[in-house]
Amino acid sequence: MPKDGGIGASTKRREDVRFLTGKGRYTDDINIRGQLYAHFIRSDVAHGRIRSIDTSAAEAMPGVAKVFTSKDFEGAGGLPCGWQVTDRFGKPMQEPKHPILAEGKVRHVGDPIAVVVAETLEQARDAAEAVVIDIEELEPVLDMKAALADGATKVHDDLASNLCYDWGFVEENKEAVNAAFGKAAHVVSLELKNNRLVANPMEPRVAVGDYEDHSGNHTLYTTSQNPHVIRLLMGAFVLGIPEHKLRVVAPDVGGGFGSKIYHYAEEAFVTKAAHILKRPVKWTSTRSEAFISDAHGRDHVTKIELALDADHNFTAIRTETYANMGAYLSTFAPSIPTWLHGTLMAGNYRTPLIYVNVKAVFTNTVPVDAYRGAGRPEATFQLERLIDKAARELGVDPIELRRKNFITADQFPYQTPVAVVYDTGNYHATMDKLLEISDYAGFGARAAESAKRGKLRGFGIAHYIEACGIAPSNLVGQLGARAGLYESATVRVNATGSISVFTGSHSHGQGHETSFAQVVAEMIGIDAGQVEIIHGDTSNTPMGMGTYGSRSLAVGGSALVKATNKIVNKAKKIAAHLLEASESDIELKDGKFTVAGTDKSVDWAGVTLAAYVPHNYPLENLEPGLEETAFYDPSNFTYPSGAYGCEVEVDPDTGKVDIVAFSAADDFGNIVNPMIVEGQVQGGLAQGIGQALLENCVYDENGQLLSGSFMDYAMPRADDLPMFKVDHSCCTPCTHNPLGVKGCGEAGAIGSPPAVVNAVIDALHRAGHTHVTHIDMPVSPARVWAAMNG
Amino acid sequence: MHNFDFVKPSTIAEAVKALSDGDAQALSGGQTLLPSMKQRLAAPGTLVSLTGIAEMKGVCKGDGGLHIGAATPHAVVAREAAAHYPALAALAGGIGDPAVRSRGTIGGSIANNDPAACYPAAVLASGATVVTNKRQIAADDYFQGMFTTALEEGEIVIEVRFPIPQKAAYVKFNQPASRFALTGVFVAKFGDGVRVAVTGASNNGVFRWTEGEKALSSSFSADAVKGLSVDPAEMISDLHGTPEYRAHLVKVLTGRAVAQANG
C-alpha cells in the first residue's frame, strides 16, 4: 500500500478545490489599474496584398489611445521558430518572417493587420469598424500538392517556393528500403489524411502587458504552457528586452493541449503596446478569434507502404507525407512531422528498414503546430491502419500479425532503424492485458446481440508507442532544436520544515501541485500537505522549458528528485552534526534522521530549524540554509506504449457510429498518482475519439474557415463517449530517469484514433462491405454511409 | 455588441407600436438574435422584447387543438404539452440544451425559420395555424423558404394553433456539432391523411414530403416508404452531409418516425 500522499497514492488533486469553487485565478481575471483594451483587426481574406490602411478616423473616435499597424513594430523581430530542419539535400528549411502585424501581405484568414487600443473593449471594437483597409485579393494557396507545382502562387514572395523542406529519414536507407520492396512477397499500401484539428482549450488565450516607466520593467501575463520560453523568445528575438527587465507570468491556465506552447503575436503586441502607451494593455481572445489565431494541429496527407516476406514478417516501411505548415512557421512546427513523427515509424515492430519522406508546405491557412501527441498520433494512425489493412489482405488475424512482428520483451534496449533506442517495453503483455480487460473473447456474443437490434458491431485494435520526456538536449540539438529541453526545480525548505518547490514545469490541468508534492513527501517522509508547488512565474521559478510532450514528471520530476536529493544530503550533514555522528551513519526514514543501529535521532523539523537558526551548526564547513536547485537533462526519450481496443456499433441505415466500449492497457512505467494518470488517459481518449469521429477543421476553396465555430466544429461531448476501461498495471519502468516514469498525457490521443477507425472498418467487413478499405477521419455518419454505398 | 435601446411592452398593441420604428427588432428568446448582435452581425437600434406580454405565453387546449403562445419557452412546451400532444412536447424537449430551452420560444423559432430548426417541422406537419397580430396564416402558406416566412413588416406571431393528430412522432438526426437537425422528420396522422414535414435537409427550408404522405396515407407503416426515393436535387450540401445523404435520411427518418408513432 502506498503511503497516503506518497508515491503511488491516488491523492485527490488539491488544486481542484479552487478550480471547482471558482477561485482559480486565470489571466483574464488579472485587471490592472489604468488598463486599456486591445482589439485585433484580422484579415477576412486568405491571401492578399495590403494596398493601404487608413486609421485616421478610428484614432479620432472616443476612448481610442492608438491604432497600431506594422509600422509601429519596425524595429521588432519576427516571431521566431524554435527548430530548424535540414532537408534531404543538406540545406536548411525555408524560413519566412512571421511579423507581429502583417507587413505588406495577409496570408491567412485571421492574420492580424492592425490593433485598436482603447479605454474599453467596446470602444476599441467600434473604432475598428472605422479602420479602412484596402486589400488586393490574391489567389489562395490551399491544396498542398498544388502548392508545390511549378509556377504555383507563392505564400511568401521572398521564398523560392511554398516548400518549407523536403525531408528524408533515414535518407541513407532509401535505396535499401526500395530494394526490400522489390523483393517483398507482399506489399500493402494505404493513402490517408490526418484531419486538421483546432485545440479549443476551455480557456481562450489572453495576454496582459504592463510596463513600469520608472524601472523599465515589463510584465506579461499570458496563457502559456511555458512562461520561461516565452520570456526567452520574446525578450531576446522579438522585442529586445533583457530577462531582468521582463517578467512573464502564466497563472492558472485552463488547458493547453499544445496550443499554448507557442509565442504568439498578441503576447509581443501587448508587451510593446504597454511600453509605448505607458499603460497596461489587455487582450482576451473570443472563441471565434481562437479558431483563426490559435495554432491548429495535424493536417497530414500520407501514402504509406508496408513490405512483408512470405512469413508475414515486416521487412520495410516507406512513407510519403505532405505536412501543412500553414502560412507561417509556428514555434515548434517544423519538428512535428519530422522528429516527432519520422522517429516513431517503427512503432512497436521489428521492421528493419524504414524510409520516411516529409514535404512541409506553406499554405494560406492558420499555422499548424503541436497538438496533444504532435506527430506521434500521425505516425501511429498510419501504421496501425496499415497493419489492419495488411491483415485483411493477407487473410490473417490483425492481432496475430501484430504479435508476430512485435519487438519482444528480451530485445530491449532496442535500436530502431529510425534513430531512437527504446529502453523498455513489453508489447505482448499490454496486448494480452487489453484482450483481457476488453473481454475480447466475448465479442462474438456481443456482436450477435447487436445484430438482433439491426446494428453492425466491430472491434478495433491499435498498439502505439510514443517518445515522451522531451528531450535529450544533445540529441535534439543535432536534430535542429534551437533550445535545450532540460527541466529545473528549486526546493526551498523553510525553517519549520515545510517546503516550497519552484518548478520550471507548468501545470494547466495536469495536477502537478498534487503529484509533485507526492514525490517530495515520499522522498523525505513527511506529509504531502507540508509541500507546496509553485510554478508559472519567471520571477520566482528557475529557468525551465515548461510543460508539453508528456515531459513534466519524466523531466521536471527528475529535476525535482535531483534537487530533493541535494536537500537530503545536506540535511544528513546537519543531522550528523546535531547527533554527533558520522554523516555516513545517518539514515532518513519517515521524516526522521537516525544514527544507524542506535536510538539516537532528530526529526526533520529539528534539522530544518537548525539550518536557519544555526546556533548549533557546523558553520566552519557548511553554509546555513536549506535550499537547492537542480537541472535535469534526460539521456533519452521515454517510450510509453499500450494497446487500445475500441468496440463500435454502426447503424447501417444512417452510418452513425456509436462507441459502445473502449479499453486502454498502457505501460507508463512507474506511476506517482494513479487517479491523475487515469484522468489524463480518459481526457486523451476523449480527444482522440473526437478526432476520429467528430472534429474537422475545413477550409473552403477561398480559404475561408467553414468550421469556424462550435456550430460546425464538433467537439466531443460526454454522451459521445463510453465509460472507459483504463488499466496501467503493465509496468516496465523507464531505465534512465530516477522515478522510472514515462509520461501519460498524450497516450490517449495517440492510440485511440486508429482503434476507432479499425473498429468501424471491422464492423463493415463483418457485414459484408468488404470493398471499404479505409475511411478518412472524422468517420462521420455521412462518410460511413457513403463508404457503405460507394 | 453595439448599443441599443430596450423596451419590454406588456400588450401586443404596445409591441406593434414600438416595432413601427424602422430600426426596431422584435426579441423573443434571443437564441439566434443575441449571438448575432454579439458578433456585430446584427445591430438593431431598439429591441422590443415580446416576453412580457401575458397573452403571448402559455399552453392551453382551445378550439380544435392546442394553442401555444408565441413567447412560450421550449421547456414550458415540453412540460405542458406532454399530456395533449406528446410528439410536440418531445420535439420541444429535444431542442438545444436546458439553457436554450428555458429562453428560446416557438414564436422566435418559426419567425426566424432556420432551415435546420425543429419547430417548423412540427408546425408544418401538424397543419397548424400561425396567428399574428393581423391575421391567421395556414402553415402551408407560412413557410416560404430558408429564413423566409409570410410575415410582413411589423407583423408578429402571437400564437400557434396545433390540430392534434391521432398519431405523430418527430425523429431528428443531429448535426454533430450544433446538434440542430442535419435532417428531421415530423410525421402526423390525421383522420383524413398523413402529413410529413422535413427540416434540416432542403435549400428551401422546411418542406412536405408529399410522396411519402401519399404512401403513408394508404398504409401508415414504416414499410410503406421503403420503396420510395427522395430527390436530392434541392438538398443542402455542407461539410456534414451531401444532398444524397440528406435525401436518404429523409426516407430513413420517416420510416423511424412512423414506427415510433405506431409505438
Nearest Cα to Cα of residue A458 among A779, A786, A691? A779
Nearest Cα to Cα of residue B58 among B81, B33, B84? B81
Q: Which residue has the cell 507587413?
A: A103
User: A507: distance to nearest CA of chain B, Å?
Assistant: 29
- Report pLDDT for B22: 80
Alpha-carbon span B111 to B205, nearest angstrom: 13
Q: Which residues of chain B have pLDDT under 70?
A: none
If you write DSSP's letter for every residue of B70-137 in order, what string do you get? TT-BHHHHHHHSTTT-HHHHHHHHTSS-HHHHHH-BHHHHHHHT-TT-SHHHHHHHHT-EEEESS-EE
The CATH code belonging to domain B167-261 is: 3.30.390.50
Burial class (CB in 10 A: 0-12, 13-18, 19+), A620: exposed
**A707 contact B CB<8A:** yes
Contact A691, A673 (CB under 8 A): no
Contact B250, B201 (CB under 8 A): yes
Can you state the angle between helices A427-437 and A398-405, rounded to 10 degrees? 160
Instruction: Please name the residue of chain B whose CA is at the shortest distance from the CA of residue A696.
Output: B239
Instruction: Please name the residue of chain B whose CA is at the shortest distance from the CA of residue A714.
Output: B177
pLDDT in tens, B162-171: 999 999 999 9
Taking the alpha carbons at both ends of chain B, their separation in whole angstroms is 48
- Report pLDDT for B63: 83
User: A707: distance to nearest CA of chain B, Å?
Assistant: 8
Domain ranges of chain A: 15-23+486-632, 31-138+205-284, 296-471+636-788
Q: What sign for the dihedral angle of Cα A714, A716, A722, A724? A: positive
Q: What sign for the dihedral angle of Cα B209, B215, B221, B224? A: negative
Pair type for strands A353-362 and A314-326: parallel
> B177–A698: do the CB atoms touch at under 8 Å?
no
Q: Which residues of B touch A711 (CB under 8 A)?
A: 177-178, 180
Q: Which residues of A touch B173 (CB under 8 A)?
A: 654, 656, 781
CATH class entry, domain B56-162: alpha beta
Instruction: Please name the residue of chain B whose CA is at the shortest distance from the CA of residue A708.
Output: B177
Residue A725 clears pLDDT 80, i.e. is over it: yes
DSSP label at residue A6 = S
For the stretch A245-281, what's the b/e string if a residue is b when 16 or more beta carbons lie within 10 angstroms of its beta carbon?
A: ebbbbbbbbbbbbbbbbbbbbbbbbbbbbbbbbebbb
User: A434: distance to nearest CA of chain B, Å?
Assistant: 30
Alpha-carbon span A87 to A94, nearest angstrom: 10
> A654–B1: do the CB atoms touch at under 8 Å?
no
Contact A179, A318 (CB under 8 A): no
**Domain A31-138+205-284 CATH assignment equals 1.10.10.10:** no
pLDDT band at A2 (very low <50, low <70, confident <90, very high): confident
**A11 contact B CB<8A:** no
Interface test with chain B among A284, A287, A654, by most B beta carbons within 10 Å = A654
User: A124: distance to nearest CA of chain B, Å?
Assistant: 12
A vs B: CB pairs below 8 A: 50
Q: For residue A128, what are the CA distances in angstroms to A104, A112, A287, B193, B241?
A: 19, 12, 18, 57, 37
Alpha-carbon span A438 to A81, nearest angstrom: 44
> B252–A785: do the CB atoms touch at under 8 Å?
no
- Report pLDDT for B21: 82
C-alpha cell, A746: 498524450
How many beta carbons lie within 10 A of that of residue A316, not counting itself? 26
**A288 contact B CB<8A:** yes
Q: Which residues of B touch A288 (CB under 8 A)?
A: 39
**B138 contact A CB<8A:** no
CATH class entry, domain A15-23+486-632: alpha beta
pLDDT band at A788 (very low <50, low <70, confident <90, very high): very high
pLDDT in tens, A126-160: 999 999 999 999 999 999 999 999 999 999 999 99
> B177–A125: do the CB atoms touch at under 8 Å?
no
pLDDT in tens, A251-268: 999 999 999 999 999 999
Q: Residue B145: CB partners within 8 Å, gap ≥ 6? A: B204, B205
C-alpha cell, A146: 498544388
User: How many alpha carbons fall within 13 Å on the CB side of residue A251?
Assistant: 16
> B239–A712: do the CB atoms touch at under 8 Å?
yes
Taking the alpha carbons at both ends of chain A, their separation in whole angstroms is 56
Model ipTM over 0.90? yes
Whether cis (ω within 30° of 0) applies to the bond prior to A782 is: no
> B177–A780: do the CB atoms touch at under 8 Å?
no
Alpha-carbon span B59 to B67, nearest angstrom: 6
User: B57: distance to nearest CA of chain A, Å?
Assistant: 29
Q: What is the mean pLDDT of chain A?
A: 97
**B99 contact A CB<8A:** no
Average pLDDT over residues A620-642: 97
**A712 contact B CB<8A:** yes
Helix then strand then coil, in percent of chain A rounded to 5, is 30, 25, 45
CATH class entry, domain A296-471+636-788: alpha beta
Alpha-carbon span A130 to A60, nearest angstrom: 10
User: B162: distance to nearest CA of chain A, Å?
Assistant: 30
Pick from B2, B240, B252: CB nearest A780? B240
Domain ranges of chain B: 5-48, 56-162, 167-261
- Report pLDDT for A1: 66
How many beta carbons lie within 10 A of that of residue A287, not counting itself? 12
Residue A407 clears pLDDT 70, i.e. is over it: yes
A462 - beta bridge partners?
A: A644
Two domains, one topology: A15-23+486-632 and A296-471+636-788: yes
> B245–A786: do the CB atoms touch at under 8 Å?
yes
C-alpha cell, B53: 406580454
Interface of A with B in 506-545 (CB under 8 A): none
pLDDT in tens, A580-626: 999 999 999 999 999 999 999 999 999 999 999 999 999 999 999 99
Alpha-carbon span A458 to A447, nearest angstrom: 7
CATH class entry, domain B5-48: alpha beta
* Strand, coil or helix: A398: helix
A657 - beta bridge partners?
A: A650
Q: What percent of chain A has pLDDT over 90?
A: 98
**A710 contact B CB<8A:** yes
Q: Residue B49: CB partners within 8 Å, gap ≥ 6? A: B6, B7, B8, B9, B27, B28
Alpha-carbon span A523 to B115, nearest angstrom: 63
Can you state the angle between helices A398-405 and A376-394, rounded to 10 degrees? 120
